[in-house]
A and B are shown apart, each in its own frame.
Chain A
Amino acid sequence: MTEREILLFSLDGRRHAVDANSVRRIASSREPGAEWIAASVLGRSRVPRRGLVIEVDGQERTLAVDGVEGIERIPAENVCPLPPFARATIRTAGICGIVVRGDELLFLVDLQQLIRESSKESWLYAQDE
């Protein structure tokens, strides 16, 4: 059985998943002057004490999240693409799939896309104050 490693995190009251390999590291506190992305299409971090650090276009970028629950191995078949009608009509590329975790459906987040959108469109972007 093929497995995938997902990293579970919480943001704005909801649990989400991201491919564990796409995260370079988890930042635990903000360095002076560091800019974290505090708001995105997934909502705004309520308590931005953790940051998911990834590389976007050759630069390190950090998405503030409320908590990191850890890494979980799940059967690959539990990860499905977004239903075609949802993929065709949703106004973000930051969600690339759905993780079926028991009775729970989690968004599989494409952090690179999410952060690119956050940088491009001001309504998705707000600096942590």
Chain B
Amino acid sequence: MRSQSLQREVPDPWEALGSPDHVSLFVLRLLGERYAVEANLVQEVIRTGPITRLPAAPAFLLGVFNHRGEVLALMDPAQLLAEESTPLASGSRAAIVQSGEWRLALVAEAMEGLVSVPPSALEAPPATGPGPAEFLKYVAQTRDGPLAVLDLARMIETARARSLPG
């Protein structure tokens, strides 16, 4: 059982989920910067195991892998954000996310974990245009530095649109 003193020193960030005065974010490192997705979209952080690459796949689709009997697609967000590759090795960490009907895994340079920020800390992203800003939902200043919150649904829709023939 967790001690009272530990609870005071290290508040459980999951308790902030659903709290009206905090937004829980899952922080990951991409392109050398801190990005985040809304924590309620992240279901699990795993090690990927061997990746099976797919033919005729766009650069952001790294392949598929077997996770406890479920075959999942692995996406590299850095490819969509900046057409750069995240270094990948067997056993790399990935975050399994669910956005609407889409369940997939995201790779990152590092998984930092959960942070909780007040809604007032979230600001609109800079004017959109080609590049990372296109995929941002919010930006925020946190104790550990600036954070860019990804719009996961938009990323997935853009990935689909870019894959249409023609």
Contact = CB atoms under 8 A, between A and B. Distances in A.
B56 A91 contact: yes
B104 interface: yes
A105 B52 contact: yes
Interface string A84-120: 1110111110110010100101010000000000000
Given A83-B73, A85-B156, A90 B65 contact: no
A88 B55 contact: no
Contact of A91 (B57, B72, B103, B104): B57
Nearest to B57: A90
A74 interface: no
B25 interface: no
Main secondary structure of the interface of B (DSSP, over half): mixed
A43 interface: yes
B70 to A, nearest CB: 8
B69 interface: yes
B87 interface: no
A56 interface: no
A82 B163 CA distance: 16
Say which size band chain A's interface belongs to: 20 to 34
Interface residues of B, number: 27
A43 to B, nearest CB: 7
A86 B54 contact: yes
B78 interface: no
Given A83-B73, A91-B56, A105-B64, 6 more contacts: A41-B56, A83-B71, A83-B104, A98-B71, A100-B69, A100-B71
Interface of A: 41-43, 80, 82-86, 88-92, 94-95, 98, 100, 103, 105, 107
10 contacts: A41-B55, A41-B56, A84-B101, A85-B73, A85-B156, A89-B57, A90-B54, A90-B58, A95-B54, A105-B52
